[in-house]
Each structure stands twice: as C-alpha cells, then as structure tokens.
Amino acid sequence: MILCDRADGIWTVTINRPDKANSLTHAMLSDLAEVMEAATEARAVILTGTGRVFSAGADLEAARAGLATSDVWERLSGAVASLPGLTIAALNGTLAGGAMGMALACDIRIAVPEARFFYPVMKLGFLPQPSDPLRMAALIGPARTKLILMGGQKITAEEALSFGLIDRIVAPEELLEHARDLSADTVAAKPEIAAGIKRMCRSG
C-alpha cells in the first residue's frame, strides 16, 4: 500500500489505500519509514497519496490497538526531516491527525484547493507526536498551532496558505508536475549544495 517510483533522482512515494481514505496501519508507517531511511541518495522526495484524501491519519482499529501512541510516527517524521535532498509533500487532499507529522517534516508543502487540515488529538484523548507541535509552531506560530491542536479547528487550504502551513495551492491535475518542477533545480545541482542549503536554513 506504499508505492515508490524512482526516476531521474526523484523518489515519488505514494500512500495507496484510497478505499480507506489512505488511513495508516503500523505496517504502512513502517514501510514509509523504511523508504525514507533508504532515500538518502535521492536528490528529491515527493510524498503524495492516491485519491481525494492524502491521509486520514491512523487507521481507527489500529489506533485503538495502540498505534496512536506508537513511536513509529516519530521514526517516520525524523527520517523525512533528516533527508539531505529536497522533500515535498504534494497533498492531493485532506491531511488529518498523525499523518500531519510527515508533511510537517517536509521542506515544502503544496496542496489542492479542496484540502482540509485538522489534528483532533484532544477529542480522541491522545497527545500529538512530540515533534509535531514544535514543527507546526515553527511554521505558523504557537497560537495558530493551539487553534488546530487544542481548538480542534479544521483549516481550509486558503487558511493554511495564509497561515504558512502550506506554501502553495495547486490544481489537482497539476500537483505532481508542479512538485517535479520545484525539484528540478535541486536535482540539477551538486548534492552537497542542496544539503548545504538545508543545513544553512536549519541553523538560520
């Protein structure tokens, strides 16, 4: 249920469980983490989903069985954050719950106009994964992070863009091509230049 296409230095990783709104099981999260841990030679990684939802977060049955508090989420987002190449979340639809962590760990987030963003941990009785509030607050500030995590608000794509949660809104039919276009300069550059820029952005 995790697809990986490797072409021209770009790894396109796709969550492929559209009949279940791309909800994530432990096996899927482990597969995603393994792919990201292996992607150190990729010049760029594009993370996307199949269908109209990027991911509804944890599969409900798996969440009740303990997935909601598993450290596999942190393993995945940490692997994404540590990649030396450009990472782009190409959000083909709504992003919910713990699935937000992997998108927050990416360098760039683009989304279709219909996408919605929410993280209902308080309603479900769980804490978010440790790095998620920190990464979200770095992008949109503490108050807006609390609006989502504590206020339970569902954010539209336009609001997400104005907040800085995403970087661009793109038509669905252009989403992956736009992500590839954003990757082009990084793919063409020397790997050490791309990695160096990422280090400079972090230290800045």
In this predicted model, what pLDDT tens digit does every residue of 50-97 receive, in sequence order? 999 999 998 878 877 888 889 999 999 999 999 999 999 999 999 999
Q: ∠6-12-18 over CA atoms, to 5°?
A: 130
Instruction: Please give the Cα distance from 193 to 29 (Å, whole number).
Output: 30
Calculate the average pLDDT of the chain: 95
Write out the E strands in the chain.
2-7, 10-15, 44-49, 53-55, 86-91, 94-96, 108-111, 116-118, 155-156, 168-169
pLDDT of amino acid 197: 93
Task: Report the Cα 3 to chain-centroid distance in Å.
Answer: 15
Query: What type of residue sits at position 88?
Result: I
pLDDT confidence bin for 203, thresholds 50/70/90 = low
Q: Is the pLDDT of residue 11 over 90?
A: yes
Q: What tens digit of pLDDT does each residue of 29-56 get?
A: 999 999 999 999 999 999 999 999 999 9
Instruction: Please give the Cα distance from 12 to 9 (Å, whole number).
Output: 10
Where helices occur in 50-117 by DSSP H, the ranges are: 60-64, 72-81, 100-104
